[in-house]
């Protein structure tokens, strides 16, 4: 009797959540919305944020530009030394200072099989300047006067005036003429077609984008049959996803502390090569203290870049000697990269008229940086080093939107930043020419947010834009870099390596110094020795 009562009572005592728990477990698959499995031969590439569009004419983020670059190549591409070289174009020639003639490769086809002809090229560049497309990149093409299709294979490009850096813009992706209406009308950015190594398959949600090898690619379909571009926003999770085998490749998406760990994990290879992205400190030139050249030089002397590269970057970089990376044809011979000299820093600050106060400090400066963990830790190390020279640093890590807004408006004293890989030395014009100080006259474009002015440098940078030969341009840029090393509107810190983390069954992937994903066109999955089934 008692036994029966206890058995019956046992059910009554059961926790009230048992049934809902079972129901939830049964319902979870439908609520979790699992998708059909990706094809078995899929290689997973991890990225930090989803591309905002797959239309290269509208792409602003590095992820969007790199992913769209796999789908829509341009007439030219940037080689590892920063020179524009033929891609869809077989060749090009400059027929006069403002005219270029491009010859397309024969038999080019878009991924849907339709032929790619000169009319598509002309239509692409026309659309870039059209208010209907409203491309945020339109300003880059304002030098264009006319793009004409002479026949199916030849395109003539005329400029309004000589502009040497213009060739770098010819890397813009070519899209089919029939789909060049406003993006909202054709959905091109969501379902693109191009002539690249991969073609679009599906974009079921923001986090997953499936591509497929393009059989119509002029260099032949890539060995990777399916490529899934998966967004994983958290860096540690990206590292764990690679470690577990959930993902296969991540390009410049893992910071040095985690790279050091991944390098020791069996089944994972960390591939690196010198990169073209430069980290730097930017000084606001109208600040009462930073306007003194000696103060800027003292800051440079007080910072131990070698130690930062060794201990913060864990060796995944190299101390910089110019904003232009060493791979650039315009970098020129190496410049001195002095180490830390605290005594000189102190002497310079004394000479500049900033003695130490009763609290041991000379003055306080704000250092703005992003909230990225790695960047914040670098800012903390710099603050510590500057404090030893008597400069108290107020660290100001800011969320991206706020940081971007403050930098745009010149609301900073020192900003710790990084230039994305630098492709064209004309960047120096945009960053240091006084015409590039954001103002109503230039529509508030221009990156001279530090407010640096030097009439001599202006003349050199403007001459370099129209110099007829690369040799003359290189000579101009060498002089410009010397002036910048003397005046220090920027203090360049280091060049960050371009690093790819790949599973060891992926072969043939070589990181690009610019962080491009084009190595995926030649990579393949193989079965490592000893793991054959």
Interface residues toward another protein, by CB under 8 A = 6, 9, 12-13, 15, 17, 20-21, 24, 28-29, 31-35, 37, 53, 55, 58, 60, 134, 136-140, 183-184, 189-190, 205-208, 230-234, 236-237, 240-241, 243-244, 246, 399-402, 404-406, 408, 440, 443-445, 447
Q: Please list the residues that pair with 104 across neighbouring strands.
A: 89
Q: Among residues 270 and 348, whose Cβ is nearest to another protein?
A: 270
Q: Which two tokens stand for residue 31?
A: 């609520």
Rounded to a whole number of angstroms, the minimum distance from the CB of residue 123 to another protein is 19
Least distance (Å) between residue 6 CB and another protein: 8
- Closest approach, Cβ 394 to another protein, in A, equals 17
The DSSP string of 464-520 is: HHH-SSHHHHHHHHHHHHHHHHHH-SEEEEEEEEEEEEEETTEES----TT--SGGG
Minimum distance from CB of 243 to another protein (Å)?
Answer: 5
Of residues 23 and 219, the one with the C-beta less far from another protein = 23
Q: Which is nearer to another protein, 136 or 339 (CB)?
A: 136
What HEC string does 170-200 produce? Answer: HHCECCCHHHCCCHHHHCCCCCCCCCCCEEE
Determine how β-strand 154-159 pairs with β-strand 144-149: antiparallel
Measure the CA–CA gap between 123 and 425, rounded to whole angstroms. 28
Q: How far apart are CA 310 and CA 210, in angstroms?
A: 38
CA 89 to chain centre: 25
Is the CB of residue 273 less than 8 Å from the CB of residue 495? no
Shortest gap between Cβ of 306 and another protein (angstroms)? Answer: 31
Least distance (Å) from another protein to the CB of residue 10?
A: 9
Angle value at C-alpha 327, between 322 and 328, nearest 5 degrees: 70
Q: Cβ of residue 234: shortest distance to another protein, in angstroms? A: 5
Minimum CB distance to another protein, residue 244 (Å): 4
Asked if 367 and 395 touch (Cβ cutoff 8 Å), the reply is: yes
Distance between CA atoms of residues 439 and 447, nearest Å: 11
Q: Is 484 exposed, middle or buried (0-12, 13-18, 19+ CB in 10 A)?
A: buried
Cβ proximity to another protein, 265 vs 467, nearer residue: 265
Pairing mode, if any, of strands 414-419 and 363-370? Answer: parallel
Task: Compare residues 440 and 527 and give the one whose CB is closer to another protein.
Answer: 440
Nearer to another protein, 50 or 515 (CB): 50
């Amino acid at each position: 009797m008692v036994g029966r009562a206890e058995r019956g009572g046992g059910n009554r005592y059961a926790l009230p959540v048992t049934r809902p728990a079972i129901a939830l477990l049964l319902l979870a698959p439908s609520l979790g919305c699992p998708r059909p499995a990706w094809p078995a031969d899929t290689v997973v590439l991890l990225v930090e944020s989803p591309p905002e569009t797959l239309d290269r004419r509208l792409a602003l983020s590095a992820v969007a530009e790199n992913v769209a670059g796999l789908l829509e190549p341009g007439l030219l591409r940037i080689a590892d030394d920063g020179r524009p070289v033929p891609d869809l174009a077989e060749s090009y020639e400059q027929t006069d200072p403002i005219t270029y003639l491009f010859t397309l490769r024969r038999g080019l086809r878009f991924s849907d099989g339709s032929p790619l002809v000169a009319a598509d090229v002309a239509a692409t560049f026309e659309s870039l300047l059209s208010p209907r497309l409203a491309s945020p990149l339109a300003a880059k093409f304002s030098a264009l006067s006319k793009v004409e299709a002479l026949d199916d294979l030849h395109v003539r490009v005329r400029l309004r005036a000589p502009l040497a850096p213009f060739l770098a813009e010819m890397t813009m992706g070519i899209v089919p003429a029939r789909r060049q209406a406003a993006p909202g009308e054709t959905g091109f950015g969501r379902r693109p077609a191009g002539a690249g190594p991969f073609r679009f398959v599906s974009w079921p949600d923001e986090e997953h984008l499936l591509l497929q090898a393009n059989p119509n690619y002029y260099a032949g379909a890539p060995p990777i049959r399916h490529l899934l571009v998966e967004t994983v926003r958290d860096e540690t999770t990206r590292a764990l996803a690679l470690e577990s085998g959930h993902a296969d490749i991540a390009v410049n998406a893992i910071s040095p502390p985690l790279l050091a760990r991944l390098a020791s994990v069996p089944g994972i290879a960390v591939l690196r090569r010198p990169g073209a992205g430069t980290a730097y400190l930017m000084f606001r030139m109208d600040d009462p203290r930073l306007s003194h050249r000696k103060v800027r030089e003292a800051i440079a002397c007080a910072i131990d870049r070698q130690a930062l590269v060794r201990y913060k970057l864990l060796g995944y970089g190299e101390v910089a000697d110019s904003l232009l990376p060493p791979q650039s044809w315009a970098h020129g011979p190496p410049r001195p990269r002095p180490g830390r000299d605290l005594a000189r820093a102190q002497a310079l600050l004394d000479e500049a008229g900033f003695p130490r106060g009763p609290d041991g400090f000379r003055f306080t400066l704000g250092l703005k940086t992003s909230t990225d963990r790695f960047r914040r830790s670098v800012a903390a190390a710099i603050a510590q080093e500057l404090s030893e020279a008597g400069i108290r640093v107020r660290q100001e890590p800011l969320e991206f939107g706020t940081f971007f807004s403050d930098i745009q408006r010149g609301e900073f004293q020192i900003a710790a930043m990084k230039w994305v890989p630098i492709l064209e030395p004309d960047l120096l014009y945009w960053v240091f020419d006084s015409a590039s100080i954001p103002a109503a006259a230039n529509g508030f474009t221009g990156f001279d947010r530090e407010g640096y002015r030097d009439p001599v440098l202006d003349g050199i940078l403007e001459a370099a834009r129209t110099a007829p030969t690369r040799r003359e341009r290189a000579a101009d840029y060498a002089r410009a870099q010397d002036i910048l090393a003397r005046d220090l509107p920027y203090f360049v810190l280091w060049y960050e390596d371009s690093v790819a983390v790949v599973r060891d069954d992926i072969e043939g992937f070589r990181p690009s110094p610019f962080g491009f994903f084009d190595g995926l066109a030649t990579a393949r999955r193989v079965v490592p020795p000893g793991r054959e089934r």
